[in-house]
């Protein structure tokens, strides 16, 4: 199964898709955007935070930057085009980063595009995180929130090399600094109202990524304990990016 086949049926009517957490958000957004574009949908890619600046190589998407999009109102919205479009507001605050659009812009964009995909969280390329008070920056309007966890965190000690905002991760999971992160900590992160799905509505999917680099990924019994949350297991960066339902929930 590819990511589009897994997620497309779960996007609420008129809604966008927001990616939060760590361990593969940008990879997931781009993989979904490419698949939807190849299926003939008009696809908009953006962020409500910051993204790594796109490299110079071949892309399946075009790029448009408009500083007005950083504000909640003002300026025209771009028109849909044949190729997927990465919509930005300009350079980010850090070198190598680009800034996206204001969350209040997303509903109007969704009216014009078949699919709007949004990276709504940052993790500094670490496999796991718990959000700060101002995170995530979820788009307004109906939304499928896709939470990602990179399974390379399992068995590694909690610290700044493993988790973004480790002090927040400790607060919501009980994992102490230096303690190995285990599947129980991941379950606590998923369940906690200030954890992975903070601020999310009822439409949620969990992706356990990096399964190819994890000796003992969580199994079906672990996933069933999170029901009715749907759980996907896979390796988005490896091979064809295949992904399977670990537990479909309801």
With b meaning 16 or more CB within 10 Å and e meaning fewer, what string describes 31-43? bbbbbbbeeebbb
Q: Given pLDDT bands bounded at 50, 70 and 90, which one contains residue 247? A: confident
Of 86, 81, 83, the C-alpha closest to 65 is 86
Residue-wise pLDDT tens digits, 176-218: 999 999 999 999 999 999 999 999 999 999 999 999 999 889 9
| Predicted confidence (pLDDT) at residue 103 exceeds the cutoff of 80 | yes
Q: Given pLDDT bands bounded at 50, 70 and 90, which one contains residue 54? A: confident
User: What average pLDDT does range 110-132 have in this prediction?
Assistant: 94
Run of H or E including 45: strand 43-47
User: What average pLDDT does range 218-228 have in this prediction?
Assistant: 94
Higher pLDDT, 19 or 238: 19
* CA separation for the pair 211, 226 (Å, rounded): 18
pTM score over 0.75? yes
* CA separation for the pair 86, 13 (Å, rounded): 22
Give 75's Cβ-side CA count (13 Å radius): 16
Q: Name residues whose C-beta falls within 8 Å of residue 209's C-beta, 6 or more positions apart in sequence.
A: 23, 24, 27, 28, 148, 149, 150, 151, 234, 235, 236, 237
Percent of the chain with pLDDT over 70: 98
Per-residue pLDDT, 241: 62
As a 3-state breakdown, the chain gives helix, strand, coil percent values, each rounded to 5, of 25, 25, 50
Q: Given pLDDT bands bounded at 50, 70 and 90, which one contains residue 237? A: confident
**Which three-class secondary structure state does DSSP give residue 184?**
helix
C-beta separation of 211 from 148 below 8 A:
no
Q: Given pLDDT bands bounded at 50, 70 and 90, which one contains residue 240? A: low
Of 14, 11, 82, 6, the C-alpha closest to 44 is 82
| Predicted confidence (pLDDT) at residue 56 exceeds the cutoff of 60 | yes
| Predicted confidence (pLDDT) at residue 250 exceeds the cutoff of 50 | no
H helix runs in the chain, sequence order = 3-7, 25-38, 106-112, 166-173, 183-191, 220-224
Per-residue pLDDT, 242: 72
Tell me which residue has tokens 């078949």: 114
């Amino acid at each position: 199964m590819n990511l589009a086949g897994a997620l497309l049926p779960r996007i609420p009517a008129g809604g966008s898709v927001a990616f939060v957490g760590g361990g593969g958000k940008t990879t997931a957004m781009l993989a979904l955007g490419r698949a939807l574009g190849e299926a003939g949908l008009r696809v908009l890619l953006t962020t409500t935070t910051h993204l790594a600046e796109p490299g110079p190589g071949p892309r399946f998407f075009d790029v448009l930057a408009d500083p007005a999009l950083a504000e909640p109102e003002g300026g025209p919205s771009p028109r849909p085009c044949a190729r997927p479009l990465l919509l930005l507001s300009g350079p980010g605050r850090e070198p190598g980063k680009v800034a996206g659009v204001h969350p209040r812009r997303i509903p109007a964009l969704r009216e014009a595009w078949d699919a709007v995909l949004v990276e709504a969280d940052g993790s500094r390329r670490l496999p796991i995180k718990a959000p700060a008070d101002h995170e995530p920056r979820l788009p307004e309007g109906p939304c499928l929130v896709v939470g990602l966890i990179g399974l390379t965190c399992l068995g590694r000690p909690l610290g700044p090399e493993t988790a973004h905002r480790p002090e927040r991760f400790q607060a919501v999971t009980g994992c102490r600094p230096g303690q190995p992160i285990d599947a129980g900590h991941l379950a606590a992160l998923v369940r906690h109202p200030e954890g992975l799905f903070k601020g999310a509505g009822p439409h949620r999917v969990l992706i356990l990524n990096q399964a190819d680099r994890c000796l003992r990924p969580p199994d079906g019994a672990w996933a069933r304990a999170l029901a009715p949350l749907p759980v996907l297991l896979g390796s988005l960066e490896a091979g064809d990016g295949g992904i399977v339902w670990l537990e479909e929930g309801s």
